[in-house]
């Protein structure tokens, strides 16, 4: 079961956790990638805006046919690069 995102509400499905610590249904193995809706929910943006960020090249993505997956390590690295301090 995947996260269901809609109208600002996120309902966690079985086996979903935090970035880098997410486990799947195979005995607690760590997931390497998340879906665009999962990343959007974690970032606090809408599902559609998550796909817009992918389109703009602002979210790292791996394409498997039509399926888009975001590597958790690449997302964390991208977030670290984007952090700026206020002068």
pLDDT tens figures, 52-75: 999 999 999 999 999 999 999 999
Whether 9 is covered by a domain: the verdict is: yes
Beta-strand relationship, 9-11 and 4-6? antiparallel
- Tally the domains of the chain: 1
Residue 38 domain boundaries: 4-82
Whether 87 is covered by a domain: the verdict is: no
Whether 62 is covered by a domain: the verdict is: yes
Whether 28 is covered by a domain: the verdict is: yes
Whether 19 is covered by a domain: the verdict is: yes
Whether 22 is covered by a domain: the verdict is: yes
Q: Does the pLDDT at position 33 exceed 90?
A: yes
Q: Report the predicted TM-score, pTM, of the whole model to 2 decimal places.
A: 0.63
Contact residues for 75 (Cβ-Cβ < 8 A; gap 6+): 19, 34, 39, 59, 60
């Amino acid at each position: 079961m995947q996260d269901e995102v809609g109208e600002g509400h996120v309902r966690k499905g079985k086996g979903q956790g935090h970035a880098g610590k997410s486990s799947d249904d195979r005995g607690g193995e760590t997931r390497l990638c998340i879906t665009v809706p999962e990343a959007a929910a974690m970032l606090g943006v809408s599902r559609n805006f998550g796909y817009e960020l992918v389109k703009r090249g602002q979210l790292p993505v791996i394409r498997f046919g039509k399926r888009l997956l975001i590597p958790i390590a690449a997302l964390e690295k991208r977030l670290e690069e984007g952090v700026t301090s206020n002068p």
